[in-house]
Amino acid sequence: MANLRFRKKSKLNRTTPFQWALTVMLTLLAAFMLLPMVYLFNHALKPYHELFLYPPTFLARQPTFENFYDLLVVTKTAVVPVSRYLFNGSIVAIATIVLGTLISALCAYALSKHRFIGKKWMFSVIIVSLMFAPETVQIPRYYVISKLGLINTYWAHILPVIALPVIVFLFKQFIDLLPDELLEAARLEGANEFTLFGRIILPLCMPAVATAGILIFQSTWGNMETSTLYVEDETMKTLPFFVSTLTSGLANSVARQGVAAAAGLLMFLPSFVLFLLLQRKVISTMAHSGLK
């Protein structure tokens, strides 16, 4: 009898041919999706003579770090070194992540757990704003930044991208799942709204916070718009603007391609590492918030 039960249990746990085929197919699909990243790494490590081979090669035959050395040499004699662009980009990214996450979470908390006049109208405006293309708001943004006297400041980088409707929507969908009874119990214990937000809402929304941090970082780290439109001082521009100027204005498109490849890899690495560190929380957020 025990042997029969073991056989039945083993049949239930046995992998079917369809599951094997699905596993193989998903593995091949995952490997295919990794190809752009593999190419990006290899392209940055190609020596100069391999960058223009025909037919082009996918993998570097003689990998070298010469492109990264050339990147430092190009900016060593420049008025503004690459470290300054990197510093500006880091400051802007960190400030935008902290302020953007905090403001979006506060807005979502009010929309989700409080009642006030115009609540549905305000949320509808946020949803509608998701349909606007970035180009449609460039002139109003520049007008606001100029009138506030923020040209050539860090706020010119931070303020235009600090409010992201998709982050507010993400937080609201996540906070809607939290039971109202939990907040009511905390209020009976004497907790005020800031205590509720700081000690209950944010800790329970950490997967959403991690996802918001990644999305805000990606939109800020690669943003060249603020450096082009709102900043004239070269020492206040960020790394994406510097990368865009490596090959622009040259007599041909061949020069500095290795340097541009190395700079492109440096632009990609922070987002890649951040996603690897927080990928579990991102998946949890997408599963609970309904955001696809």
Domain boundaries, the chain: 2-67, 79-289
Distance CA 162, CA 177 (A): 25
pLDDT the model gives residue 285? 59
Residues 6+ apart with CB under 8 A from 235: 80, 84, 88
CATH class of 79-289: mainly alpha
pLDDT the model gives residue 282? 65
Nearest C-alpha neighbor of 92 from the set 29, 9, 153, 136: 153
Tokens 């996450």 belong to: 101
pLDDT the model gives residue 291? 46
Six-digit token pair at 40?
């990006």
pLDDT the model gives residue 247? 60
Distance CA 162, CA 96 (A): 6
Specify the 3-state DSSP secondary structure of 208. helix
pLDDT, tens digit only, all 292 positions of the chain? 545 454 555 555 667 878 888 888 989 998 888 888 888 888 888 887 777 777 777 788 888 888 888 777 766 666 777 788 888 988 999 999 999 999 999 989 888 888 888 888 888 888 888 787 777 788 888 888 888 888 888 898 888 888 788 888 888 888 888 888 888 888 888 888 888 888 888 888 888 888 888 888 888 888 888 888 888 888 888 888 887 777 665 444 566 777 778 888 888 888 888 888 777 766 665 555 544 4
DSSP state of 151: T
Residues 6+ apart with CB under 8 A from 191: 199, 200
Six-digit token pair at 108?
């979502």
pLDDT the model gives residue 99? 92
Residues 6+ apart with CB under 8 A from 251: none
pLDDT the model gives residue 187? 86
Report the amino acid identity of residue 160: P
Distance CA 76, CA 97 (A): 30
Distance CA 103, CA 193 (A): 15
